[in-house]
Amino acid sequence: MSKKIESEAVLPEGLRICAARLARTIYTLRNKRNIAHKNPVDPNTFDLALAHASAAWIMAELLRNATGVPMQEAGVLIARLQVPVGTLVEEIDGLRLVHADTSIRGEILILLHSHYPERVAVADILKTMSARNDGSVKNRLSELRTEKLLHGDGKTGYRLTQVGHAAAVTEIANLMKAA
């Protein structure tokens, strides 16, 4: 099917060539790299990242072609759609708020999960968690880094490691079960 699309001269080149080939890549990863499975095997993070970024690019290209907005603006709109769905995290004026009744540790994991795989500056973490004691938040960040659930420091900010991402997913799942 994607080979046929590549020969459709009426489509813009970005969709005709690039999107078609990216879609074929995503499909190949799904079938050949253990992304589509029914057992508890954890797919390769890099394969998932490639599939995710490729799908986001295709959506931005479709949006750009349908609306005429510049690619940068289309990319921003698609990025906003990727914010986790649900009531746990809400973004207001660029600030993500965690609405879970959880520990400081749990709140940090959920917050960083909503930004994964990007780093979050400590100042932004503290602003988000302004209802918490700054010292306590910094202590939990240090503990999570020692446990290798986070990577980074006070200057560059923090991001979840793969192990930290799994811990955040467990935290979220436990909150959903309790709800």
- Averaged pLDDT score across all residues of the chain: 84
Question: Residue 135: its pLDDT value, please?
Answer: 96
Q: Does 153 score more than 90 pLDDT?
A: yes
Q: Does 173 score more than 70 pLDDT?
A: yes
Q: How confident is the model at residue 3 (pLDDT cuts 50, 70, 90)?
A: low
Mean pLDDT over 98-103 rounds to 90
pLDDT tens-digit series, residues 50-97: 888 888 888 888 888 888 888 888 877 777 666 544 568 888 888 888
Interatomic CA distance for residues 150 and 158, integer angstroms: 6
DSSP H or E run through 91: strand 89-92
Q: How confident is the model at residue 175 (pLDDT cuts 50, 70, 90)?
A: confident
Question: Residue 103: its pLDDT value, please?
Answer: 95
pTM metric for this prediction: 0.58
Domains of the chain: 2-81 (no CATH), 89-178 (1.10.10.10)
Tokens read off for 147: 């446990």
Angle, vertex CA 26, rays to CA 110 and CA 76, nearest 5: 50
Interatomic CA distance for residues 136 and 104, integer angstroms: 8
Q: How confident is the model at residue 100 (pLDDT cuts 50, 70, 90)?
A: confident
